A and B are shown apart, each in its own frame.
Chain A
Amino acid sequence: MNDGLFDQFKEWYEKRHDYARDWKARTGGQVVATMCTYTPEELLIAAGMLPVRVLGAHEPQNVTEPHIFGMFCPFCRDSLAQGLLGRFDYAEGVTLTQSCIQYRQAYSSWRQNVPTVQWDYYVAMPNDVQSPHSRKAHYAEIQQFRVFLQTLTGKTLTDDMLRDALAVMDENRRLLRELFDYRKADEPKVTGVEALYASITAQFIDKREHNEVLRKVLAALPARKVTRPTGARFMTIGSENDDVSFMAMVESVGATIVIDDQCSGTRYFWNASKNDDDVIKAIAERYCDRPACPTKDYPAHTRFDHVLNLAKEYKVQAAVFLQQKFCDPHEGDYPDLKRHLEANGIPTLFLEFDITNPIGPFRIRIEAMLETLSEEELF
């Protein structure tokens, strides 16, 4: 659908470093490189900063081997490479909120070896978010992060400032949910590539600007004409994925990606905060309650039913696991999640993702999957 409706998101994605530099020049604010979508961005926004999620560049690199192992996941290696290569030289700060150990080491190497880093902060979010004790602990961690930012900037982060930031974040989440709702239709008005551009850019663009563009797109969508066949309805599952060329390939061979369970997509924005007089509690609990990453999904596997419900709600015909090579948390979930989906009538395909991906061989697998869904005409 070449109507240019999502061009702003695409441009932001492709020129994200230029955007951050420009934002800094025009606002005078600090830019913070954030690792992991559990980062409580509300606090950074309240402090007048721009949180910019670290993404890879999908290019071969040779700079991370001295710092982290080659058997760490490609996303960790590619993310660290971007820091070491100076691509985030505009960012004063770097933060990580605890998720997996590989990412933690990538963060440690970043803060030690990226020379432009002026400050760093590690939010020690508990992984066992299902425990009431952990929720209390996370509340304390968020409070501590607030104190750190106040000391750093020399300014008080009032409850009102935090509430404003939370409202902006929640509005962004609500608008993205509204956008994704369009993908439920039999002929979705939003493709998987477009949805990815919208959700991934929310992770590094000023949320107020992002909200404005989302509103414009949402206002134009009711009149949008669908000019492409939907084909088979696919879901993607995995950790981070911003491999646009892969998504475009899938949508060029007879499929539409209608929903995802990825931290580059729905897991980032799916739930808003709950009303609470205590704004720190509202922020902290929102992250404990969000659709879980496998690192934070035990003892109960809440993720399995959440993924299945998404699949049903969006009428998914097949699910594609985009497994980052060596990502232990996701690989650990894979066998049971695959069984869970297949037992409920949703066939699955497993693809192993690396820093760069072989689009040709992946295309064969995607096309073969499509043929298994619609081969009847051949027999």
Chain B
Amino acid sequence: MNAGIDEAKLATATPEKKEFWRWQENTWYDETKNWKDAKIITCGIDVGSVSSQAVLVCDGELYGYNSMRTGNNSPDSAKNALQGIMDKIGMKLEDINYVVGTGYGRVNVPFAHKAITEIACHARGANYMGGNQVRTILDMGGQDCKAIHCDEKGKVTNFLMNDKCAAGTGRGMEVISDLMQIPIAELGPRSFDVETEPEAVSSICVVFAKSEALGLLKAGYTKNMVIAAYCQAMAERVVSLLERIGVEEGFFITGGIAKNPGVVKRIERLLGIKQVDTKIDSQIAGALGAALFGYTLMQKQATKA
């Protein structure tokens, strides 16, 4: 009937259930530099619906970051994200010259000097990560999805967001990961491990994901085919958003789903263009942009003084 899935297990929650959706929280800093040498240290904090990031920028260059799951309140998520990186490098809050909050919790970052929307911050972050060639940004976040146009400086010229429904966003991918009982990081690679590419699922509603997946498994899909069908549906959904705004060369993807090649490669296939590569974690784009804005604001303050 189907390959490799225990339907009873799928349909009912198991007591010792592993959290397959849990993506890797991580902290990084540039060990070749010492933050104490920096003249200006700025911080961007992106409190998103699913993940929170704190990014430190020293004299306009990325120095370190911490990315973790958003807790049940924005101020704590902001504090925890920043504490995670400060503890690693022996920094204190007073060592930071300027803090910019962004993300849906941007106005609830207690120590922020300014709040800027994630739309502006993702464009600025993408400009740093992908260079000044970046013109179209797709931010695939936890609960929403944004298509952004920017100029060579990373200044937003136009943008669109998905309407209300969270289908086709990071949270949807987490639900599928749990349903399929496959760690979220494996979803992308496994979506290509299919003999023939299946049609996209007809509904990518997060709420109905379970019945949709069960239906496909009953119809003889393997787990990998179900994942492939979801990745394809997600790609089609965001491409339709992108097409409303138009895609220019210099295409860049930010947000957690940028780490899922199953979605990214299908988006590239549908658009017929490749995304600009970067070695920097795509999930920190918003916080990075916020920290870079902080740096510019500090420089302007210094000039005025």
Q: Which one, A371, A372, A378, contacts B297 given CB within 8 A?
A: A378
Interface of B is mostly: mixed
> How many B residues touch A, CB cutoff 8 Å?
23
Q: Once the chains are docked, how many angstroms separate the CA of A208 from the CA of B144?
A: 49
* Interface status of A274 (Cβ within 8 A of chain B): no
* Interface status of A159 (Cβ within 8 A of chain B): no
The segment from A86-94, A116-124, A359-367 found at the interface with B is A359-367
* Interface status of A377 (Cβ within 8 A of chain B): yes
Q: Judge whether A372 and B104 touch: CB under 8 Å.
A: no
Q: Which one, A360, A372, A377, contacts B157 given CB within 8 A?
A: A372
Give the A-B contact count at a CB cut-off of 8 A.
47
User: Which residues from chain B contact A14 at a C-beta distance below 8 Å?
Assistant: none
Q: Which partner residue on chain A sits nearest B163 by CB separation?
A: A352
* Interface status of A167 (Cβ within 8 A of chain B): no
Which residues of B209-252 are within 8 A (CB) of A?
none
* Interface status of B164 (Cβ within 8 A of chain A): yes
Q: Once the chains are docked, how many angstroms separate the CA of A260 from the CA of B164?
A: 25
Contact size class for A? 10 to 19
Q: Which partner residue on chain B sits nearest A369 by CB separation?
A: B159
Q: Judge whether A375 and B104 touch: CB under 8 Å.
A: no
Q: Judge whether B144 and A379 touch: CB under 8 Å.
A: no
Q: Which one, A360, A371, A377, contacts B156 given CB within 8 A?
A: A371
Proximity bits, A328-367, B CB within 8 Å = 1, else 0: 0000000000000000000000101000001011001101
Which residues of B249-305 are within 8 A (CB) of A?
293, 296-297, 300
Q: Which one, A352, A367, A379, contacts B153 given CB within 8 A?
A: A379
Q: Judge whether B119 and A378 touch: CB under 8 Å.
A: no
A324 to chain B, nearest CB (A): 13
Q: Which partner residue on chain A sits nearest B244 by CB separation?
A: A350
Q: Judge whether A378 and B120 touch: CB under 8 Å.
A: yes
Which residues of B134-174 are within 8 A (CB) of A?
144, 153-161, 163-164
* Interface status of A368 (Cβ within 8 A of chain B): yes
Q: Judge whether A365 and B161 touch: CB under 8 Å.
A: yes
Q: Judge whether B161 and A378 touch: CB under 8 Å.
A: no
Q: Judge whether A364 and B116 touch: CB under 8 Å.
A: no
Q: Which partner residue on chain B sits nearest A379 by CB separation?
A: B153
Interface of A is mostly: helix
Proximity bits, B85-122, A CB within 8 Å = 1, else 0: 00000000000000000001000000000001111100
Q: Which partner residue on chain B sits nearest A370 by CB separation?
A: B117
Q: Which one, B159, B160, B164, B293, contacts A378 given CB within 8 A?
A: B293
Q: Which one, A360, A371, A377, A379, contacts B117 given CB within 8 A?
A: A371
User: Which residues from chain B contact A378 at a C-beta distance below 8 Å?
Assistant: 116, 120, 124, 155, 293, 296-297
Proximity bits, A117-133, B CB within 8 Å = 1, else 0: 00000000000000000
Contact A364:B118 (CB < 8 A) given known A377-B297, A377-B300: yes
User: Which residues from chain B contact A368 at a C-beta distance below 8 Å?
Assistant: 117, 119-120, 156, 159
Q: Which partner residue on chain B sits nearest A362 by CB separation?
A: B161
The residue among B104, B119, B124, B154 with the most chain A CB atoms within 10 A of its own CB is B119
Q: Which partner residue on chain A sits nearest B164 by CB separation?
A: A358
Q: Judge whether B155 and A379 touch: CB under 8 Å.
A: yes
Contact A364:B117 (CB < 8 A) given known A378-B124, A378-B296, A379-B296: yes
Which residues of A150-177 are within 8 A (CB) of B?
none
Q: Once the chains are docked, how many angstroms separate the CA of A379 from the CA of B300?
A: 9
Q: Which one, A352, A360, A371, A377, contacts B104 given CB within 8 A?
A: A360
Residues of A within 8 A of B (CB): 350, 352, 358, 360-361, 364-365, 367-368, 371-372, 375, 377-379
Besides A361-B161, A379-B153, 19 new A-B residue pairs in contact (Cβ under 8 A), listed by A number: A358-B164, A360-B104, A364-B104, A364-B119, A364-B161, A365-B161, A367-B117, A368-B119, A368-B156, A371-B120, A372-B156, A372-B157, A372-B158, A372-B159, A375-B120, A375-B155, A378-B116, A378-B155, A378-B296
| Interchain Cβ contacts under 8 Å between A and B, 8 examples | A361-B164, A365-B159, A368-B117, A371-B117, A372-B157, A378-B120, A378-B296, A378-B297
